[in-house]
Structure 1
Amino acid sequence: MDWLTSLFTVHSSIQTVVIISVIIAAGLALGKIRVMGISLGIAFVFFVGIVAGNIGMSIDKVTLDYAETFGLSMFVYCLGLHVGPNFFGSLRHEGMMLNVWSLAVIVLGTAFALALSPLTGISIPVMTGLLCGATTNTPALGAATQALAHAGLPSSDTALATAVTYPLGVVGVIIAMVLIRKFFVKPADLEVKKLSDDNHTYIAQFTAINPAIIGRTIQQIALMTHVKFIISRIWRGKQVLVPVATTELHVNDKLLVVTNKEDEQAMTLLFGKKENDQDWNKEDIDWNAIDANVESRVCVITRPSLNGKHLGALHMRQAYGVNVSRVIRGDIKLLASDDLRLEYGDRITIVGKHENLDNAEHFFGNSVKTLEEPNIGSIFLGIVLGLILGSIPLSLPGMESPIRLGIAGGPIIMGIIVGALGPRLHLISYTTRSASLMLRKLGLSLYLACLGLDAGKDFLSTVIKPEGLVWVGIGFLITLVPILIIGIIALKAHRYDFGTICGILCGSMANPMALGYANDTLKGDTASISYASVYPLGMFIRVVIAQMIIMFFV
């Protein structure tokens, strides 16, 4: 049986794979267990790693560092790539204010932790670890340990402090939400207030009776207003037309118009009369049953050369005799205006005659099988660029040595840039949801397993010491105090419902487990919406703050 024992005790490449795989498999399995409706999910990999390290399991130190670095860089890059397309859009309008509240939580928590350091006598590296654990932000811990390594300082106590405080960091957010709901939330605060609509299109039928547009072409009418619209069909008596730019409108033409909801009144003034006989925005409308000669079809852009091109530059009406009415990107429905920049993977709704739709479909590609193949090569290229970005020394005023974004900050910024701006540079950044989730979970699992294994050897001896218990208590305060203060203030402002506030708090603390609790106990999906809006920027700021604390105060 020595051969079996050696798989766990003798350092080798096989032993490394076995140890890490066992930790990840056990952690993910135990993470599904719910206690009082709460489960730790992937975070349990971290604790299984701690247990494994505490009972004497170990792997080669160089290999451990490699696996940990690779896992973290893969996770943060793929996360940046995932949120990139909607990242800058979320900073506008309501998303900007959501991030302001999230930033308030982050700033208050950081200031509170720094103020506790001289009061408690806890060193800055350890307090940084407590802050990372209290905010359940393992990428921030990765940034802090990298900054300590650049400074030539040990990081074992920092990782250990995170391990000690992480459990109550998870539970603390949930406890804070429970306290706020019990003592401060009124019934009106539980009513869902929708932040935004993912459907940026509105379909309505109008009758052309405005004398100013009769006899004019659609192109001429479009120049008469700043409002964007698409006329997908025209009913002229018993005839159904697929309009083009040169189509002239006649009196009493029935127009099926796609525009923005807020422009409905402007469209009524432009065309003359809005018909209210049917709701054209229902999900169950069979568009192909409206008329036998005109069809509606959804095509997927899988032709690489179309990535990043403006829709208007394709001249779909003139070249193929079809109208593009809507573009669906992820879960967002976009108005198919000429200035819309297309992205690989967009779903295009086209309207026209059957043979014309066949030609247009071939032009777009519409190969679902191709779309399902993840762009692994571009992901690894992005990781390389992210690591290069993270290694660039940045000199800031007041700092003796330059700061680096590191393996956590560089890849996530590169991921956001590629995800958001890739189509403008004609780079295909599309990755299937399943592939993105798989890579993120794989990267984070590798990182947490190695991190826990490295910190586990000293975990138990630290917890049973008096300072270990102090660390747990301080970490719990760092979690609870900022959330309670900002959460109550946001609630008293009466701007958001309680679900939205919970999403802000969970996102600012990078706590998906607490978000799951909020979703299970609250109506609507406002918690998830606000969480997604603040999580990318909040996590990035915490990653930078962790390094800044080490560089400025150590």
Structure 2
Amino acid sequence: MNWLFELHKTQPVAHAIGALAFVCVLGMALGSLKFRGIGLGTAGVLFAGIIVGHFGNPVDHATLDFVKEFGLVLFVFTIGLQLGPGFFAALREKGVKMNALAAAIVVIGAITAPLSGKLMGFDMAAVLGIYSGGTTNTPALGAGSQAISSMENVTADQRAMPALAYAVTYPMAIVGIILTLLIVKKIFAIDAPKEAAEFAARNRRQVDALERRTLAVTNPNLNGIRLADVPGRIEAEVTISRIRHQGETVVAHEDTILHRGDLLVVVGTPKSLDQFERVIGQRSSEDITVDESNITFRRVAVTDRGVLGKTVSQLGLDQRFDVAVTRVTRADLEMSAVPGLRLQFGDQVQIVGHPEDLDRAAKLLGNSLKELNETHFIPLFIGIVLGIALGTLPIAVPGLPQPVKLGLAGGPLIVALILGRVGRIRRQVWHMPVNTNLAFREFGIALFFAAVGLNAGAKFFATVFSETGVQWLAAGIMVTMLPLLLVGIFARVVLKMNFMDLSGLLSGSMTDPPALAFASNIAGSDAPTVGYATVYPLTTLMRILSAQVLAIVLFG
């Protein structure tokens, strides 16, 4: 077995890879353990790395540095792709208020960390770790560590210190966030289940489901005019799939001529159908969809790049294939397929026509399950390259001694948010199946945690049980709880914020899933996830930027 114990000398890269894999196994096993429904999750890899780094042979630092940065890029880029479509929408309406409060929490924490460091006489490198660990924000740790790694006035010991301080303060920060939620709940005597019910009643989205209705043409003014020329059809946002004229049922076309007595199958919301009914004539109790005709319907997925971005009318399926498009389902939202609706990758389209015509239309739209579940690697790597380019771009900020760089955490995140929102550029589609996204994200953060833990392990135990370690813990608790209590009390007293919004806001402002799980548990509802998701993207971005600003201010 001597070859194995000498591996760190004979084959350092192989030893590093083996150690990383071993740490991930131990850490994920540790993270799966839960106490009252709360566990460390992937963060368990960090502590497993510390243990292995402390007791094991030293690992090749060049390999660890590469793995750490690569894992961080994967993690933030996949987060950005997932959050991109809803990020800008979160900044509107209620999201503006909640994001402003979350931003206040970030700013107060970023001020508290260096102040506590100065008062207690910490090395400023430790402040970056205390700030990241006290806010349980891994991307901030990556951004801060990456920012000082290129600074000439920073020693090797200082470069390792943020990870060490992060590991010391992180566990108590989770406890601090949960404790803050309990304190706010106790101060205001909050009945969480009751507020969850009030939240559901007040925020229940009144989205009318689409329904199908048969209308009879009795309006004499419509006799002999084209379907496309029927007044109010576009404004009512309804679609017409079938028309029965003199006993024969056909697929509806824009050029179909209407006659008095015709029956139309119309799809839309109840309100829009009532509006359109007043134009057409009257409702009919007949259901012509059950007529003995060869007309049927099918749901197909939009996967062909040639149709992406085109409107329903531009496709012209009615003219080309004798097929009507009635509904489009996108992200669990069903919409009427109005002519101006632009199709996106992954849309589920309901089409009506004869079987052979539906086959041809489905071929045009793509309808490829393989494409839908496939990860497009060319756009993925294009996005990473653009993210690295943006992250390494020096950005001059007035008042700062040197340019700010978004780094390997900020650059890929911003690019991914933009690309996730845009969705596609020409034939390149930034679509990643949810399971694949989660797999890449977990893989990336596990690599990052493992590398950070192995680097910090040598000095961790000597630090955490020292006077310095206790002071770090105290500073970390201040960074965690002070901003949360100040903003939480303000939001409750002044803004009268419901506890579901408030607990989601406080958890999301710390980007802390265990706290979100705890908030959902005490409320008996998933309602806090709304606030959490609303503030998470902007908070993550601000944490990354603030960590870099701190690094420049403290070491610039």
TM-score, normalised by the number of residues in structure 1: 0.89
Whether 1:168 aligns to 2:169 is: no
Return 398-407 or 263-272, whichever deviates more.
263-272
Q: What 5-or-longer segments of structure 1 have no aligned partner? A: 281-286
Contact 2:239-2:268 at 8 Å conserved across structures? yes
| Distance in 2 between residues matched to 1:232 and 1:463, nearest whole Å | 70
Confirm or deny: 8 A CA contact 2:38 2:518 kept in the other structure: yes
- Counterpart residue identity of residue 167, structure 2: A
CA, structure 1 residues 303+425, in 2 after alignment: closer, same or farther (shift >3 Å)?
closer
Range with bigger deviation, 139-148 or 288-297: 288-297
> Aligned partners of 1:13, 1:261: CA distance in 2, in Å?
65
1:248 is displaced (CA, Å) by: 4.6
Match of 1:116 in 2: 116
Out of 255, 261, 268, the residue aligned to residue 246 of structure 1 is 255
| Structure 1 residue 315, shift from structure 2 partner | 1.3
- Stretch moving more, 165-174 or 182-191: 182-191
| 1:415 counterpart residue number | 416
SS at match of 2:213: strand
User: Quick one: structure 1 residues 84 and 270, their matched pair in 2 at CA, closer, same or farther if it must change by over 3 Å?
Assistant: farther
Q: 1:255 to 1:83 in 2, by over 3 A?
A: farther
Q: Deviations over 1:100-134 (max 9, x none)?
A: 33223223332333443443333543223211111
Given the superposition, is the C-alpha separation of residues 168 and 335 from structure 1 closer, same or farther in structure 2, using an over 3 Å criterion?
farther
- Structure 1 partner of 2:181: 177
Determine the C-alpha separation between the residues in 2 that align with 1:389 and 1:513: 32
User: What is the distance in 2 between the residues matched to 1:90 and 1:546?
Assistant: 23
Which residue, out of 178, 187, 196, partners 1:190? 196
The alpha carbon displacement at 1:328 in A equals 2.6
Number of matched pairs: 546
Offset, 1:433: 1.5
How far off its partner does 1:23 sit?
0.4
User: Cα distance 1:497–1:2, how it changes in 2: closer, same or farther (>3 A)?
Assistant: same
Query: Residues 394 and 146 (structure 1 numbering): CA distance in 2 closer, same or farther, change over 3 Å?
Result: same
Does structure 2 conserve the Cα–Cα contact (< 8 Å) formed by 1:205 and 1:254? no
Quote the residue 2:222 is aligned against: 214
The aligned counterpart of 2:520 is 519
Letter of the aligned partner of 1:137 in structure 2? N
Aligned partners of 1:492, 1:268: CA distance in 2, in Å?
49
Q: Aligned with 1:110: secondary structure?
A: helix
Spell out, residue by residue over 1:241-280, the C-alpha distance to the aligned partner (whole angstroms, 9 max, x if none).
Answer: 43222335556766554446775765565556679x99x9
What residue identity is the alignment partner of 1:64?
L
Could you tell me how far apart the structure 2 residues matched to 1:523 and 1:257 are?
A: 41
Partner deviation per Cα, 1:127-146 (whole Å, 9 max, x = no partner): 23211111111111111112
Higher-Rg structure is: 2
Rate the CA distance shift 1:328–1:398 in 2: closer, same or farther, 3 A. Answer: same
Deviations 1:126-169 (A, max 9, x none): 22321111111111111111211233323222221111111112
Cα separation, partners in 2 of 1:292 and 1:510, compared to 1, 3 Å: farther
Q: Relative to structure 2, which stretch is displaced further, 469-478 or 317-326?
A: 317-326
- 2:16 aligned residue: 16
Contact 2:325 2:351 in 1 (8 A): yes
Instruction: Determine the C-alpha separation between the residues in 2 that align with 1:339 and 1:298.
Output: 20
Which amino acid in 1 is paired with 2:195?
A: D
- 1:19-98, aligned counterparts within 5 Å? 19-98=19-98
Give the structure 2 partner of residue 284 of structure 1: none
Contact 1:218 1:245 in 2 (8 A): yes
Instruction: Find the counterpart in structure 2 of residue 356 from structure 1.
Output: 357
Mean alpha-carbon deviation: is it higher for 44-53 or for 288-297? Answer: 288-297
- Quick one: percent identity of the two aligned structures? 33
Residues 323-374 of structure 1: CA deviation (Å, up to 9, x unaligned): 2233233334344333333222222222223222111111112121233221
Q: Does 1:131 align with 2:168?
A: no
The CA deviation string for residues 9-37 of structure 1, in whole angstroms up to 9 with x for no partner, is 75522111110000011111111111122
Q: Which residue of 2 aligns with 1:438?
A: 439
Q: What residue number does 2:237 align with?
A: 228
Which stretch shows the higher mean deviation, 35-44 or 312-321?
A: 312-321
Q: Distance between the aligned counterparts of 1:3 and 1:273, measured in 2?
A: 87
User: Distance in 2 between the 1:159 and 1:484 partners?
Assistant: 26
Task: Indicate conservation of the 8 Å contact 2:218/2:261, yes or no.
Answer: no
Deviations 1:489-540 (A, max 9, x none): 3344677543333222222211122223333443443222332222122101
Say if 2:196 and 2:527, in contact at 8 Å, map to a contact too.
no
2:165 is matched by which residue type in structure 1?
Answer: A
Taking the TM superposition and a 5 Å limit, the aligned residue runs for 1:490-509 are: 490-492=491-493, 497-509=498-510
1:304 and 2:290 are equivalent in the alignment: no
Counterpart secondary structure, 1:58: coil
- Give structure 2 stretches of 5+ with no counterpart: none
Given that residues 110 and 550 in structure 2 are in contact (C-alpha distance below 8 angstroms), is that contact kept between their aligned partners in structure 1? no
Amino acid at match of 1:341: R
User: Corresponding residue for 1:156?
Assistant: 160
**8 A Cα contact 2:218 2:281, kept in partner:** yes
CA RMSD of aligned residues (A): 3.1
Q: Counterpart in 1 of 2:538?
A: 537
- Alpha-carbon spacing, 1:417–1:326, altered in 2? closer, same or farther (3 Å): same
Distance in 2 (CA, whole Å) between partners of 1:340 and 1:270 is 23
Partner of 1:350: helix, strand, or coil?
strand
- TM-score with structure 2 setting the length: 0.88
When residues 480 and 359 of structure 1 are mapped into structure 2, their CA distance, relative to the original with a 3 A threshold, is: same
Q: In the aligned structure 2, how far is the partner of 1:462 from the partner of 1:290? A: 79
Residue 378 of structure 1, CA deviation: 2.5
Question: Is the Cα contact below 8 Å between 1:373 and 1:432 reproduced in 2?
Answer: yes
Change (3 A) 1:196 1:334: farther
Q: Is the 8 Å Cα contact of residues 325 and 351 (structure 1) preserved in structure 2?
A: yes
Aligned residue number for residue 324 of structure 1 = 325
The answer to whether the 8 Å contact 2:178/2:518 transfers is: yes
Task: Check conservation: 1:72, 1:444, Cα contact below 8 A.
Answer: yes
Q: Separation in 2 of the partners of 1:105 and 1:291? A: 65
More displaced 10-residue stretch of structure 1: 157-166 or 415-424: 415-424
Any idea what SS the aligned residue of 1:458 has?
helix
Quote the Cα distance in structure 2 between the aligned partners of 1:396 and 1:295: 62
Partner Cα separation in structure 1 for residue 180 and residue 39 of structure 2: 17
Q: Distance in 1 between matches of 2:273 and 2:122?
A: 61
> How much does 1:219 deviate?
2.0
Cα gap change, 1:237 to 1:53, in 2 (>3 Å): farther
Separation in structure 2 between the aligned mates of residue 425 and residue 95 of structure 1, nearest angstrom: 31
Structure 1: distance between partners of 2:322 and 2:237: 20
